[in-house]
Amino acid sequence: MTIMKLWITYSVVFTCGILILLLLFRASTNPEEVILGTWQETDWKYEKGIAFAADIAAASKSKTTQPEFSFHKAEDWEFLPGGRLRLTIAGQEEILSWCMKGRGHVLQIKYGNDRTENYQLTVLDNHQMVLNAESDVQARGIAQLIFERKKTETYAQKIQ
């Protein structure tokens, strides 16, 4: 009888734990889905800005490898399903690949030449995305990229 009671207690506790987890998952949205769409870079913020820029410049001079981060300025980033990322820079398009790591808090962008950039996804909601470019090699500072979701007009909106 005691063993039966014990089994029931343990089963109930574990089932409750699993149910809470499932409920949390149901109540939330997967960041891989939230990120899909077009985002426009609105701002760059540098913490220790001069140090960051100087370090990147120094890194690119002292080493034959490319600096760890590219300067993305006023670009449109379109996250497509299947891990493709379309960057529009001054009207020119570039296709890269993207994926998320960890608990969905790291955005990894891969260039064709085996170069990879990792960004911390600080904010990701339906309107805003904030990426922290953290470098642990050469750049001592942290750069923050701020995006706003670009609203794409539907056909109905266009003909109004």
Partner 1 sequence: MLRKYSNSRTLGDNVRLGVLTAFSAGMVNIASLLLFFSFSSNVTGHYAILAAELVKGNLFQAAVVLGWVFLFFFGGFVSNMFVINLNKKNTYIAHALPIVLEIICLVAVGTYGHFFYKETLAETEVMLALMLFAMGLQNGLTASISNFTVKTTHLTGITTDLGILFSMFTRKEYRRSKELKNKAVLLLSIAAAYLSGAVVSGITYMHMGFRLFYVVSVFLVVVIVYDFYKVKLFRYLHVKRKTPYTRPVQLSNAKHFPKMQIQREEEEEVAAC
- Residues that bind partner 1 in the complex, under the rule CB under 8 A: 17, 20-21, 24-25, 27-32, 83, 99-106, 108, 118
Closest to partner 1 by CB, 31 or 37: 31
Dist. CA 75–CA 18, nearest whole Å: 42
Minimum CB separation from partner 1 for residue 53, in Å? 26
Q: Which is nearer to partner 1, 108 or 128 (CB)?
A: 108
Alpha helices (H) in the chain, listed in sequence order: 2-27, 31-34, 49-62, 155-159
Instruction: Give the separation between CA 44 and CA 14, rounded to whole angstroms.
Output: 46
Q: How many CB atoms lie within 10 A of CB 150?
A: 12
Supply the minimum distance, in Å, between the C-beta of residue 149 and partner 1. Answer: 18
Least gap, CB of 44 to partner 1 (angstroms): 23
> Which CB, 54 or 142, lies closer to partner 1?
142
Q: How far is the CB of 49 from partner 1 (least distance, A)?
A: 25
Give the closest residue to 124 by CA, choosing from 141, 96, 105: 105
Q: Min. distance of Cβ 2 from partner 1 in angstroms?
A: 16
Cβ atoms within 10 Å of 20's Cβ, excluding its own: 10
- 27/156 with CB nearer partner 1: 27
Task: Select from 140, 144, 149 the least CA-distant residue to 50.
Answer: 140
Tell me whether residue 114 or residue 153 sits nearer to partner 1 (CB atom).
Answer: 114
Map residue 89 onto helix, strand or coil: strand
